């Protein structure tokens, strides 16, 4: 491996050392060091792979001798997580009223192929890519899915081939995300969607500070990298959609627009990023900030009684909480307040969980289209917009709607 000289996202050479992670090594020079970019706030490793041979040694070689029994054990675990991911995707697409043009999907980093099977069974024409040829062969035997061996890059597939590209826990392994995301955008049909999941900087565990994790994203830095490569974030899940097993992840659904963003903005400050990594080094459990007590209780119910009862309990809780907050707002305003239970569910939940203020809520209500509401909601969360910034964004969206622009 070789030392990296600039930020892999914005190419800024201005970086500061965050933490040093002790690894199994011959000398301290082999330890892993994470840096913080002074321009965009990205957290990245000080070393990168020099060539494809090193990549293969890290990602492909360990699985070449995988036995069928090991594969079945891995895929049983992965299938459970993928069901949650698929459920979140389905619910989000329904809220966005999005329909694919051809219902063709690509998964980058398919591993065992269990997600490909789930979407294929839902009527998608699906193909995967993964450097692990052994798992690809076993996935075809067990599930009958197609996984091409190799790394995804520009020219792997013709332009505008897929309506959906998914990739779970791959982008943190990619030392230069820009060309890969550009290639993803090119293979998507106009308005196509990219579904990503990666460890959340704010909820990291010690095991996630590893040599292969060359970039560590927060919601803010991930969204910014996507926007600079011609994507627009339309939905986010800060604790991951994968149920109890992925609550320390961040998931993003982004629409291909082909309009790269302008100036880079600072995501997390150096102090914020350093605090996240120091918490991760102290414990192998998620930080308290990453999972509220309320969510812990719902996950406990989920574990004991199953998904259906946990979701029913959460729905009841949110309904009661919404009525109570509505009454409090009405009393404070001295007159009728908004009916929170008539808001889109993601907007209502973010308000009840304290991520949105009443001013944000009233601005979102000005938008007649739920798709645009969810898009603006994602930007409020990602970039921590103030009320005035939200108002300006809503005004811009309303102007675009009057001009007949696609939301």
Q: Where are the domains of the chain?
A: 2-47, 53-283, 292-342, 344-407
Q: Is the pLDDT of residue 312 over 80?
A: no
Average the pLDDT over 183-200 and give the result.
95
Q: What is the pLDDT of residue 179?
A: 95
Picking from 324, 321, 371, the residue whose alpha carbon sits closest to that of residue 350 is 321
User: What is the rounded distance in angstroms from the CA atom of residue 174 to the CA atom of residue 172?
Assistant: 6
Task: Give Cα separations from 157 to 27, 114, 127, 275 (angstroms).
Answer: 43, 22, 11, 41
* CATH number for region 53-283: 3.40.50.150
Identify the three-state secondary structure at position 106.
strand
For residue range 98-129, list pLDDT tens digits in order: 999 999 999 999 999 999 999 999 999 999 99
pLDDT category of residue 324 using cuts at 50, 70 and 90: low
* CATH number for region 2-47: 2.20.25
Q: What is the pLDDT of residue 290?
A: 44
Picking from 314, 393, 396, 390, the residue whose alpha carbon sits closest to that of residue 353 is 314
User: What is the rounded distance in angstroms from the CA atom of residue 395 to the CA atom of residue 256?
Assistant: 22
Q: Is the pLDDT of residue 329 over 90?
A: no
% helix, strand, coil for the chain, step of 5: 50, 20, 35
| Prediction pTM value | 0.75
Picking from 404, 352, 342, the residue whose alpha carbon sits closest to that of residue 373 is 342
CB 251 within 8 A of CB 241: yes
User: What is the rounded distance in angstroms from the CA atom of residue 182 to the CA atom of residue 177?
Assistant: 9
Neighbouring C-alpha atoms within 13 Å toward the C-beta of 181: 30
Q: What is the pLDDT of residue 164?
A: 98
Q: What is the pLDDT of residue 102?
A: 92
User: What is the rounded distance in angstroms from the CA atom of residue 110 to the CA atom of residue 128?
Assistant: 6
For residue range 355-385, list pLDDT tens digits in order: 677 788 888 888 887 778 877 887 787 677 8
DSSP conformation class of 226: H
Task: Give Cα separations from 316 to 28, 116, 311 (angstroms).
Answer: 54, 34, 9
Q: What are phi and psi of 254, to 5 degrees?
A: -130, 140
Residue that is written with structure tokens 């996935």 in the block: 139
Identify the three-state secondary structure at position 96.
helix
User: What is the rounded distance in angstroms from the CA atom of residue 216 to the CA atom of residue 160?
Assistant: 29
Conformation bin of residue 144: beta by default, left when phi > 0, alpha when psi is -120 to 50: left
Q: Which residues pair with 196 in a beta bridge?
A: 167, 252
Neighbouring C-alpha atoms within 13 Å toward the C-beta of 148: 13
For residue range 263-277, list pLDDT tens digits in order: 898 888 999 899 889
Q: Is the pLDDT of residue 42 over 80?
A: yes
User: What is the rounded distance in angstroms from the CA atom of residue 108 to the CA atom of residue 391?
Assistant: 37
Helix (H) or strand (E) holding 291: none
Between 97 and 262, where is the model more confident? 97
**Tally of helices (H runs) and strands (E runs) in the chain:** 13, 13
For residue range 44-55, list pLDDT tens digits in order: 998 776 556 666
- The chain-wide mean pLDDT, for the chain, equals 80
């Amino acid at each position: 491996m070789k030392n990296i000289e600039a930020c892999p996202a914005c190419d800024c050479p201005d970086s500061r050392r965050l933490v040093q992670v002790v690894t199994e090594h011959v000398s301290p020079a082999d330890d892993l060091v994470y840096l913080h970019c002074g321009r965009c706030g990205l957290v990245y490793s000080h070393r990168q792979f020099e060539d494809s041979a090193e990549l293969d040694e890290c990602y492909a070689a360990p699985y070449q001798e995988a036995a069928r029994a090991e594969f079945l054990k891995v895929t049983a675990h992965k299938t459970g997580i993928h069901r949650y991911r698929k459920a979140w995707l389905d619910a989000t697409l329904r809220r966005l009223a999005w329909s694919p043009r051809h219902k063709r999907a690509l998964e980058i980093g398919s591993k065992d192929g269990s997600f490909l099977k789930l979407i294929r069974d839902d009527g998608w024409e699906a193909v995967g890519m993964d450097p692990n040829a052994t798992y690809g062969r076993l996935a075809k035997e067990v599930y009958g899915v197609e996984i091409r061996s190799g790394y995804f890059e520009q020219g792997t597939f013709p332009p505008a081939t897929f309506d959906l590209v998914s990739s779970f826990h791959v982008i943190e392994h990619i030392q230069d995300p820009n060309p890969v995301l550009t290639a993803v955008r090119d293979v998507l049909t106009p308005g196509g969607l990219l579904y990503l999941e990666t460890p959340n900087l704010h909820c990291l565990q010690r095991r996630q500070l590893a040599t292969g994790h060359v970039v560590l994203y927060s919601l803010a830095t991930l969204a910014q990298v996507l926007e600079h490569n011609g994507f627009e974030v339309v939905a986010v899940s800060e604790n991951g959609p994968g149920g109890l097993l992925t609550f320390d992840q961040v998931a993003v659904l982004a629409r291909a627009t082909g309009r790269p963003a302008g100036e880079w903005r600072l995501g997390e400050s150096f102090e914020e990023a350093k605090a996240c990594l120091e918490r991760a080094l102290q414990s192998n459990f998620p930080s308290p900030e990453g999972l509220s007590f309320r969510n812990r209780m719902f996950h406990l119910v989920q574990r004991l009684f199953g998904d259906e009862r946990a979701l029913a309990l959460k729905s009841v809780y949110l309904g009661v909480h919404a009525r109570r907050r509505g009454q409090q707002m009405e009393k404070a305003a001295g007159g009728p307040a908004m009916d929170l239970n008539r808001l889109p569910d993601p907007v209502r939940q973010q308000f009840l969980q304290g991520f949105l203020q009443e001013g944000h809520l009233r601005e979102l209500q000005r938008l007649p289209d739920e798709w645009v509401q969810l898009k603006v909601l994602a930007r409020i969360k990602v970039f921590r917009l103030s009320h005035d910034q939200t108002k300006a964004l809503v005004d811009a969206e309303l102007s675009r709607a009057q001009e007949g622009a696609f939301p």
